[in-house]
Chains A and B, each alone.
Chain A
Amino acid sequence: MSLTLGQRTASWLNAVGRSVWRIGWPVTDKDRAAVMISSIFLHIHPARVSRHALRPTYTFALGLITGILFLVLSVTGLALMLYYVPYPPESYRSMKDLAFVVTFGIVLRNMHRWSAHAMVVMVFLHMCRVFWTGSYKAPRQFNWVVGVMLLILTLALSFTGYLLPWDQLAFWAITVGTNIAAYAPLVGDRLKFLLLGGHVIGPMTLLRFYVLHCVMLPLAMLMLISLHVWRVRKDGLSGADVQAMPAPAEEAAGVFPASTKTHGLMALSRRPRASVEARDPNDEVFAWPHLLFRELLVTLAVIVVLHVLSLVFMAPLEEMADPTRTPNPAKAPWYFLGLQELVHYSALVGGVIVPTLIVVALVILPYVYRGRAGAGRWFAPERRVANTIFTALVIISVGLTIIGTLFRGPNWAWVWPWN
């Protein structure tokens, strides 16, 4: 029996396909679970996930959206690097080129800009969500600390990127921002000198910020995101051991063996050996399709929103940086305007004491406030005091940022935004 050429080719292609995808297109739950485990890209997820964590109103997909934005920023950033020259005044001219000469340049730049702002917002919202649901509690304390580092990295990435257009907005925002950093006791001036690569913001500063923005900080971010996601998988749910449902009757009767699966392997710190599996198999669904489908929808939604934003709203570009002419008022990037508002009253308080206290409080929070009650639920009544204090702080910081952004005019005097 001889095969036709067509059949031989099909069989050959099939063999090639099998060498790439060990499991073909999965049609059964078992195959889909196997794909989830064996694919390097999909094994970020477990094969099965709990219904509880899958509810959209539990996480609002804020962490996922942040991750998607990081991906969008990496891709658009790489593309922009092909036209951007990190040396003044060419840096400013390359922004003009992106806006008026390069095909789709302005769309890419807008998308990079708006994604960066959105990422700051999403990281902040994600942190609020994790606090309000008590999801930083044991065994996830260290992952909260990793999250705080990611918040700081996100701000650092946004801040270093802010200088690159080399316009008046960039120059004076970085002037104000680096001068706030210089208020750090003992090391402040040296830190500023090291950051600027000199006494004033110049070509050396631009090059330093460029390298930090395009290579060093994204690499650090990638490593920490990996750790963050890994720990979510390995640590298990906050309060899982407290809220674990009583063993089902079958288990007690010895029909099914009790779950012994824990995820303590090679994590960076020890964790209580609580089971990460839901006791009730009915509480779990397969990650493919239930989780993947939701992720696909969120990804599409984010991409659509980013495209609309980038086509409708232009990223700002003022005239070229001029160290001799201070715009009035000179403002830091918006996410630091809460601090600048405080700095307006006292540089030491706003520039040093408050930011240090915020970071220290966030880092030690899960280790100091160790009550396990109310983890895994929104605004659990058991956590009323903690939630009230945190919410008050959130309102204060958002309020200060809004005041600094909208209600401050020339000479940092109070203005009404509608005037």
Chain B
Amino acid sequence: MTEDRIDLQRRRVFAVGCFGIGAATAGFLAATFRFLVPNVLYEPSRRFDVGSPAQFPSGSVTFLPDRRLYVFNSADGFFAISSLCTHLGCNVKHIGQGFECPCHGSRFDENGRVVQGPAPQPLAWYAISLSPRAQLIVDQDQIVGPEFRLRA
């Protein structure tokens, strides 16, 4: 084997080695990124029981501070609106027929649509369903439109 051949082989081994280390680094970074995404969330469930329909008198608006949620029992059924302002995540207050955010003065109408202020989106509406044990279940992962009603 000539000197040149040895040199060439050495370079090839070096190139393969560099490629290997590069690939390993990329894989490691991808794995690290995936590692950072939690698989189990130790936080309140996104789907929860808010009580029996009887706890919400007809025509009432109930604020559930722990769930950051308003539950309405209107003439045509139940619906739930989030109290999280879509601007920067403050709790909106139900005032008169609409909602007001204390942080930057956003105002929403009775359906959670933006009337005034910097909020970019209407308040979220969550699906409500009735469990087999006749409890109201709110699912925060299921966003619905303002026409949603759960007839009791």
Contacts and interface: CB of A to CB of B under 8 A. Distances in A.
Interface of A: 172, 175-176, 178-180, 193-194, 197-200, 202-204, 323-326, 328-330, 343-348, 410-413
A411 B91 CA distance: 12
Given A175-B89, A198-B38, 18 more contacts: A176-B88, A180-B88, A193-B37, A194-B37, A198-B43, A199-B43, A199-B46, A200-B43, A204-B41, A323-B68, A324-B66, A324-B91, A326-B90, A328-B102, A330-B103, A343-B104, A410-B102, A411-B103
Contacts of A329: 102-104
Given A176-B89, A179-B89, A328 B43 contact: no
11 contacts: A179-B87, A179-B88, A193-B37, A204-B38, A324-B65, A326-B90, A329-B102, A344-B104, A344-B118, A411-B103, A412-B104
Contacts, number: 78
A215 to B, nearest CB: 15
Interface in B81-101: 87-91, 100-101
A36 to B, nearest CB: 39
Contacts of A197: 38
Nearest to B63: A324
A117 B42 CA distance: 33
A203 B42 contact: yes
B31 interface: no
**Interface of chain B: mostly helix, strand, loop or mixed:** loop
Contacts of B100: 411
B59 interface: no
B54 interface: no
B17 interface: no
Contact of B65 (A175, A325, A412): A325
Task: Give the size category of B's interface with A.
Answer: 20 to 34
Contacts of A200: 43-44
Nearest to A410: B102
Contacts of B38: 197-198, 204
Nearest to B119: A347
A413 B117 CA distance: 12
A413 B118 contact: no
A267 to B, nearest CB: 23
B30 interface: no
A177 B43 CA distance: 20
State the majority secondary structure of interface residues on A.
Answer: helix
Contacts of A347: 87-88, 118, 120
A328 B42 contact: no
B118 A411 contact: no
A325 B88 contact: no
B75 interface: no
Contacts of A348: 120
B88 A412 contact: no
A209 B113 CA distance: 34
A28 to B, nearest CB: 50
A200 B66 CA distance: 12
A325 B103 CA distance: 12
Contacts of A346: 118
Given A194-B37, A324-B65, A343-B104, A175 B42 contact: no
B84 to A, nearest CB: 9
A326 B99 CA distance: 14
B120 A411 contact: no
B27 to A, nearest CB: 19
A326 B87 CA distance: 14
B30 to A, nearest CB: 14
Nearest to B100: A411
A198 B41 contact: yes
Nearest to A205: B43
Give 5 nearest A-B pairs by CB, closest first. Answer: A324-B65, A328-B102, A179-B88, A326-B90, A326-B91
B53 interface: no
A348 B102 CA distance: 20
A294 to B, nearest CB: 44
Interface string B25-59: 00000000000111001111010000000000000
Nearest to A327: B102
Considering residues B42, B68, B88, which has the most beta carbons from chain A within 10 angstroms of its beta carbon? Answer: B88
Nearest to B120: A347
Contacts of B87: 179, 343, 347
A348 B38 CA distance: 28
Contacts of A198: 38, 41-43
B118 A345 contact: yes
A332 to B, nearest CB: 9
A413 B42 CA distance: 37
Nearest to A177: B88
B105 interface: yes
A197 B37 CA distance: 7
B37 A328 contact: no
A412 B100 CA distance: 12
Contacts of A178: 89
Contacts of A323: 68
A52 B37 CA distance: 52
A407 to B, nearest CB: 14
